[in-house]
Structure 1
Amino acid sequence: MSQTVAIYNQSFILHPSGAIFWKEKAMLLIADVHLGKVAHFRKHGAAIPPHLAFENLEQLTEICNDLCPQTICFLGDLFHSNLNSSWDDFTKWVSYIKIPIVLVSGNHDIIPQYLFEELGVKVYETWKIESFLLTHHPTEEVNFFNFCGHVHPGVKLQGTGRQVLRLPCFYKTKQQLILPAFGKFTGKHTLSPTKESEIYVIADGEVLHISS
């Protein structure tokens, strides 16, 4: 189950995958996929199951088939490091998906820009659409609402007894919404809710709105 939030008279569906679907623009927003991270760590001797490298693209395909976006915007850190075997998988996926793709560069996006452009992927440092500012790093700019990633937000929930859960979340404030990391093999940075924040936690395939 997803949640829908209204911002500046626009509707945004918060998907259990960590993606956001902007209904009026039919645009899928995704942050911090970190493709190639599994291959990078396996190359350096980490005992990580190789099938994890394909799960991100498989999930992306499922979401596209479900929501039928007309544009996909990656909010930075699409890839984790330099070129490796995951680049070939990505090129095949781009050819298969046949949807316009935009990459807003993140700090991990060190693959040369021209390689993305050869695939038809547009690359920007930031992207402004009407009153919305799309970035990788959280950014404040007057009169703009910011969608961003980078932080890999999570929240700590206290259960009965001493049980503690740390779950990924969408972290929303008055002028900003930080997306959770989409990548399967990524960590979480625990954020502390404030009186001004809204937390949408992802648990068991659902997006749940919890009070600050």
Structure 2
Amino acid sequence: MAKKLILNGLELFLLPQKVVYIPAHEMLVVSDWHIGKLGHFRKAGIFVPPMRLEEEFERLELLLRDLLVKKVVFLGDLFHSDWNYEWDEFQLFLQRFPSLTFTLTLGNHDILPKAILERSLIELKDYLLLPEGIVLSHEPIRQLDKGIYNVVGHLHPGCEVALRGRQYYKLPCFYLEDTTLTLPAFGRWTGLYMVPKRHDNRLFAVVGNDVLELT
């Protein structure tokens, strides 16, 4: 089950697929996919299994089929490093959705040559400002005007959840502190940056098919 947040009057749904859906803008927000990461490791001589690209693409495609979406925003680190064949496969995947627009707010791992990025179907921006006073970017933007929320990625946040029998699990989470909402990484090979629960933040753990707020 999704978790609804209201920021500046705008409804955002935190989905267990580790993305944010904004119905008013028919927008899906995806962060830190790191496509090509395993291929990058293999090129460097590190033995890892190849990324199953169709399985990766299907994760996003299911969301695009189930939700009313006109725009997809990638919050940076879409592709992991320099070019490999996964980038070309990803471009073919995007062609399946000619009615959608795709935007990338550039992240620190988005280092493909500008010429390659500009030939893609993806619009490139440093950040995206919604009319409700919400800025989408890869990393937090310093010194935003008062009352502006910043929706970001970059950290790959995780939290520790205690279950019965003294069992503890480290799980990806959405992380809200002050006016910054940080998304978990959509990529499955990213690791977690553990965020402690404090009185001045809110953590929303991804637990199976649910997003649950920690108390």
Q: Does 1:32 align with 2:35?
A: no
Q: Secondary structure at the match of 1:97?
A: coil
Tell me the equivalent position of 1:145.
149
Q: Shift in Å at residue 206 of structure 1?
A: 1.4
Q: Shift in Å at residue 7 of structure 1?
A: 1.1
Contact 2:38 2:51 in 1 (8 A): no
Contact 2:5 2:13 in 1 (8 A): yes
Contact 1:155 1:169 in 2 (8 A): yes
Alignment deviations for residues 88-145 of structure 1 (CA, whole Å, 9 cap, x no partner): 1111011112210000000000012332332231111122222011111123412310
Distance in 2 between residues matched to 1:171 and 1:5, nearest whole Å: 12
Q: Shift in Å at residue 162 of structure 1?
A: 4.8
Once the two structures are superposed, the pairs formed by residues 115-134 of structure 1 within 5 Å of their partners are: 115-130=116-131, 131-134=133-136
Q: Shift in Å at residue 46 of structure 1?
A: 3.2
Tell me the equivalent position of 2:42.
42
Q: Does 1:52 align with 2:52?
A: yes
Corresponding residue pairs, total: 211
Contact 2:104 2:124 in 1 (8 A): yes
Alignment deviations for residues 159-198 of structure 1 (CA, whole Å, 9 cap, x no partner): 4455321100000123110000000111100011221211
The one-letter amino acid paired with 2:44 is H
Q: Does 1:210 align with 2:214?
A: yes
Q: Name which of structure 1's ranges 189-198 and 138-147 shifts more when overlaid on structure 2.
A: 138-147
Contact 2:91 2:121 in 1 (8 A): no
- Among the aligned pairs, what percent are the same residue? 32
Tell me the equivalent position of 1:97.
97
Tell me the equivalent position of 2:160.
156
Distance in 1 between residues matched to 2:39 and 2:4, nearest whole Å: 35
Q: Secondary structure at the match of 2:95?
A: helix
Distance in 1 between residues matched to 2:97 and 2:7, nearest whole Å: 29
Contact 2:36 2:51 in 1 (8 A): no
The one-letter amino acid paired with 1:81 is S
Contact 1:171 1:177 in 2 (8 A): yes
Q: Shift in Å at residue 63 of structure 1?
A: 0.9
Contact 1:39 1:53 in 2 (8 A): no
Q: Name which of structure 1's ranges 99-108 and 201-210 shifts more when overlaid on structure 2.
A: 201-210
Q: Secondary structure at the match of 1:68?
A: coil
The one-letter amino acid paired with 1:202 is V
Distance in 2 between residues matched to 1:113 and 1:96, nearest whole Å: 23
| Runs of at least 5 residues in structure 1 that lack an aligned partner in the other structure | none
Contact 1:155 1:166 in 2 (8 A): yes
Distance in 1 between residues matched to 2:107 and 2:95, nearest whole Å: 23
Superposition TM-score, scaled by structure 1 size: 0.93
Q: Secondary structure at the match of 1:46?
A: coil
Tell me the equivalent position of 2:88.
88
Q: Shift in Å at residue 75 of structure 1?
A: 0.4
Q: Shift in Å at residue 9 of structure 1?
A: 1.0
Distance in 2 between residues matched to 1:161 and 1:175, nearest whole Å: 36
